[in-house]
Copies of this chain bind each other. A is one copy, B any other.
Amino acid sequence: MSEFETTLPSTRQVQTLIVEKTEVELKLVTDDLLVGKIRWQDDYCICLNDHYDQPTIVWRQAIVYLKPKP
């Protein structure tokens, strides 16, 4: 992952959410709201696992916002 800018606050926050296995809400341009835990991120995608541990690979271009569950 050579060019992946890991020093940016947003990237680091996502990294923290991965490590701490925080449940998040991911709002998408289609108005879908996915709920789950982030497993990995790269330049183009964020992978979210749902309650059944099934992965969904979300394209970053389609993300509107990310909200850690309080």
The chain A residues found within 8 Å of chain B, CB to CB, are 1-2, 5, 7-11, 13, 27-32, 34, 40, 42-45, 47, 52, 54-68, 70
Contact = CB atoms under 8 A, between A and B. Distances in A.
B13 A57 contact: yes
Copies of this protein in the complex = 6
A5 to B, nearest CB: 7
A45 B7 contact: no
25 contacts: A1-B9, A9-B42, A9-B45, A9-B47, A10-B42, A10-B44, A10-B47, A10-B57, A27-B30, A27-B32, A28-B65, A29-B30, A29-B62, A29-B64, A52-B70, A55-B68, A56-B66, A56-B67, A57-B66, A57-B67, A58-B65, A61-B61, A62-B63, A62-B64, A62-B65
